Amino acid sequence: MKKIIFLFVLSFSITAIAQDNRIPIDSTIITTNSVVIKGKRIQYKAQTGTQPVYDKNGGIKATLFYTYYKRTDVNNSEKRPLIMSFNGGPGSASVWMHIAYTGPKILKIDDEGNPIQPYGIKDNPYSILDVADIVFVNPVNTAYSRPIVKEKKKLDKKYFFGVNADAKYLAGWLNTFITRNNRWNSPKYIIGESYGGTRVMQLAYELQNSQWMYLNGVIMVSPADYQLLRNKNSEDYAINFPYFTAAAWYHKMLPQKLQQQDLLDILPESESFAINKLLPALAKGGYVSKEEKEAVAEKMAYYSGIKKEVILRHNLEVPNRYFWKELLRDTSGKTIGRLDSRYLGIDRRETGSSPDYSPELVSWLHSFTPAINYYIQNVLKFKTDVKYNMFGSVHPWDFSNNNARENLRKSMAQNPYLNVLVQSGYYDGATTYSAAKYTIGKIDPSGKFKNRLSFKGYRSGHMMYLRKEDLEKANDDLRDFIKKSSENIGPAKY
């Protein structure tokens, strides 16, 4: 039975003004509830509200909206693992994993993740709340999080909107949160989805080296590695290619020999071809021989389901966007989804080089937007007239001096406790599973951290947890990762 325990709101001096004055700068609302997870009823409290971002002098720069779930039916709760959860964008609210993956409530959707009307929420029987407490954090301009601007001053975008700035202020905010909630003794984890992959790689380093907060784990869900993503170089085209095989297999567009095999039996073939044949050919550019180019294009067609002549017209460099448009062009004429290629779209014209829209994102916004607005106001009891930003304005985002990947390596070197888990869907065409594997290899070029780096793949897309089978499997993988990296792990030394 849900109960509201108390409401506490504290607002600060009128010389500091939120971008929307209807949002309190420092507030807490606590409700109690329970959920059955893995067949056992779990009691918990949900603490939601806003907490300030302080600068180095104690001035208030912003207020961040968060939701903190803490299990209450256990002893010595301050030593329970704590998961600090972020989504990506940049500019996305921490809504997706909150009410569809790890939290105690999830969307009412069908088993494959499609919206069901009337929209709503239900209990999550696979949540990791049985083994860890979770705080979902919304960066500035997402959800109800807003900057604080002094009178007659402008928003300092450089303080918030960039790879390094983002991690710096979030690390400080987390320090305050950990102190306020007495979690310094807890095993600590950060999880980030999509751009959140870059965010948590950099944040691990910032937490350890600026806040002296050492982690047990970094979890990246469908990570966007911007040292590879969108570079449009030979490496990028080759690394993403095995995703073509996965999407084509799903839509039954591969040759019969491949189509009659299981997906996981053919992906290693495609991965080997991409690294050992396609990448060297692309690296040669115009110096590749006609014979090699023809042979590589033939194999690309075999593993991708698109025609050899189309591949040759692209000089072997087939963009993902073109693939989404091309794969079904001559059959159904439909496009396939960017973030989850199981979804289909209908364009105005079948001609063209990229889809008109992303059918999967439209579908997700159908179900997530009403659900999160209902849940926060009616279940968590945070009342406001302010718009909940599913996506907020954070541009221009500063990608310069992006050393997130190397900084995660440094964090692992400094901290023998630190383990990394990467989770990806095979049908994700935006941040592909093969790119995620590549990132793992680049984090650890020496190969000395292999026993602390792990990858898990799922038969779905970017939000693999929207598919019921993968929701259960992915949460079980998280549960195993948390247990192995937080229990009886011995002294922190090599």
DSSP annotation of 79 reads G
Instruction: Write down the residue that tokens 């407490």 correspond to.
Output: 133
Q: Tell me, yes or no, whether 490 lies in a domain.
A: no
Q: What is the pLDDT of residue 79?
A: 83
Token duo for residue 226: 């911007």
- Rounded to an integer, what distance in angstroms lies between the CA atom of residue 390 and that of residue 103? 17
Total domain count for the chain? Answer: 2
Please report, rounded to a whole number, the percentage of residues in the chain having pLDDT higher than 70.
Answer: 96
Q: Are 263 and 249 in contact (CB under 8 A)?
A: yes
Token duo for residue 359: 């059918």
- Rounded to an integer, what distance in angstroms lies between the CA atom of residue 378 and that of residue 383? 8
Q: Tell me, yes or no, whether 168 lies in a domain.
A: yes
Q: What is the pLDDT of residue 379?
A: 97
Q: What is the pLDDT of residue 30?
A: 98
| Band of residue 4 on the pLDDT scale cut at 50, 70, 90 | low
**3-state class percentages of the chain: helix first, strand second, coil last, to nearest 5:** 40, 20, 40
Please check the confidence at residue 394 and state whether its pLDDT lies above 50.
Answer: yes
Q: What is the pLDDT of residue 313?
A: 97
Please check the confidence at residue 459 and state whether its pLDDT lies above 90.
Answer: yes
CATH number at residue 180: 3.40.50.1820
Q: What is the pLDDT of residue 154?
A: 85
Domain that holds residue 125: 27-226+366-485
Domain co-membership, 95 together with 207: yes
pLDDT digits (tens, 9 = 90+) for 158-190: 999 999 999 999 999 999 999 999 999 999 999
Q: For the chain, how big is the Rg over CA atoms in Å?
A: 23
Q: Which residues pair with 49 in a beta bridge?
A: 28, 66
Buried b or exposed e, range 399-416, using 16+ CB within 10 angstroms: eeebebbbbbbebbeebb
> Among the residues of 163-262, which ranges form H helices?
163-180, 195-210, 234-250, 256-259
Domain co-membership, 115 together with 162: yes
Q: Tell me, yes or no, whether 18 lies in a domain.
A: no
Domain co-membership, 204 together with 121: yes
pLDDT digits (tens, 9 = 90+) for 125-163: 999 999 999 999 999 999 999 999 887 778 889 999 999
| Band of residue 7 on the pLDDT scale cut at 50, 70, 90 | very low
- Rounded to an integer, what distance in angstroms lies between the CA atom of residue 409 and that of residue 222? 19
Between 48-57, 111-120, 204-213, 338-347, the lowest mean confidence (pLDDT) is in 111-120
At 199, which amino acid appears?
R
- Rounded to an integer, what distance in angstroms lies between the CA atom of residue 284 and that of residue 305? 24
- Rounded to an integer, what distance in angstroms lies between the CA atom of residue 63 and that of residue 262? 49
Q: What is the pLDDT of residue 2?
A: 52
| Between 189 and 11, residue with greater pLDDT | 189
Instruction: Write down the residue that tokens 């494959």 correspond to.
Output: 112
* Averaged confidence pLDDT in the chain: 93
Picking from 297, 326, 357, the residue at the C-terminal end of a domain is 357
Q: Tell me, yes or no, whether 11 lies in a domain.
A: no
Domain co-membership, 375 together with 457: yes
Domain co-membership, 402 together with 326: no
| Between 366 and 65, residue with greater pLDDT | 65
Please check the confidence at residue 3 and state whether its pLDDT lies above 70.
Answer: no
Q: What is the pLDDT of residue 66?
A: 98
Please check the confidence at residue 223 and state whether its pLDDT lies above 60.
Answer: yes
Cis previous bond, 355, omega within 30:
no
Picking from 357, 375, 407, the residue at the C-terminal end of a domain is 357
Domain co-membership, 125 together with 218: yes
Please report, rounded to a whole number, the percentage of residues in the chain having pLDDT higher than 90.
Answer: 86
